[in-house]
Structure 1
């Protein structure tokens, strides 16, 4: 195979290596984009113009400016506490079950094009994470900071993974249209957005099953870690009491 045809794909191994080494994602993507641009013969000025154009066309600055103050105001008046209290009243609710339900809804809605139905700022932080944390607190009592952070991380991962794989099914999604246009520009015909969306379904189903399996083990893992924490906490209190008695 001609090496000149493979050279523009240099960005793919750069992204894989950068993510595997846990470098800054923004830095990795930027370097991969620069490497790809230089590989196809673009000059530095053209690359900067392309980066700037894509940034201006894709940013949603106005939405962010509107969402953040609203969410902050709702949290100030007790949105997180209300969500925790409501979940605590549901006896069958657990952190894993709540996250599993959200994952299914998020991926299904993203597949239908409802990309703004969820989100880190407007749903995960003020609602999903407190609800999952409240369910765990209702079962186990006071939670250590490490468990709270872990539940918050799982909540954020649910939104990211479900959106990432669900949106590829939606045929009007920008990435799907970009792939179809790129293939046509390079002489590969017969690949329509509908076909790309259909081929995204198996990957989305695999992501769904894998993540639901991980979340199904979350409750047992939390219970085990809390039991260990409670034992160590009780042991430290006992040692402290004995030390005070001896003193």
Structure 2
């Protein structure tokens, strides 16, 4: 058995450890893996092309990101913050709990690309969470502001991670099914998806509690 292609994994680990450009690291690692696996350079490039063509929907990001950039340039973040400041009882925790609910529900029905770090958290959710905190507690110090922004990003991650497994046609469910099949456990994707619901509910409860604790912490820090 030829173990040399596994060197690509070491290149990924080394590149990330050295904080190099992730796209460059992954590309070099993939090229190295292909070459060490016995493919000629043209075959490696052809494999890249086929993978991109099979997953060409990822190219949509190059359309979405410039649109988001233009919206931010013309005041999207400021308008989002202004909407929150106009709401009397809005708090950071309550706002993020609503976003968590939205993220989990949409991910559960397969609409996991309707939100995300680039599409919604940076231009909308994080500015709105900051505006809610500033409305309630005044100007935030940099460390507290960073904590609010990081909690907004974490809320998106939790909502997506625990919501998407309820959607039985997602890749992770297929991976779990095939892994179990190797151990002679034959479950339909729908059965796995149903059992993801209790986990998603617990994730919602626990993260919502964290968000309410964040509200309390902000209140205590700015008395």
Aligned positions of 1:1-247 closer than 5 A? 45=37, 56=52, 57=54, 60-184=57-181, 186=182, 188-227=184-223
Q: Deviations over 1:120-142 (max 9, x none)?
A: 11111111111111111111222
Q: How many pairs does the alignment contain?
A: 195
Q: Answer 1 or 2: higher relative contact order, Cα 8 Å, separation at least 6.
A: 2
Q: Secondary structure at the match of 2:37?
A: helix
Q: Secondary structure at the match of 1:201?
A: helix
Task: In structure 2, list runs of 5 or more residues that go unmatched.
Answer: 1-12, 27-35, 39-43
Work out the CA distance in 1 between the residues paired with 2:49 and 2:178.
18
On the 8 A contact 2:103/2:159 being kept in 1, the answer is yes
Question: If you compute each CA radius of gyration, which structure gives the higher value, 1 or 2?
Answer: 1
On the 8 A contact 1:98/1:132 being kept in 2, the answer is yes
Q: CA RMSD in A?
A: 3.3
Kindly state the Cα deviation for residue 146 of structure 1 after the two structures are TM-superposed: 1.4
- Could you say which residue in structure 2 is the equivalent of 1:33? none
Task: Tell me the TM-score normalised to structure 1 length.
Answer: 0.68
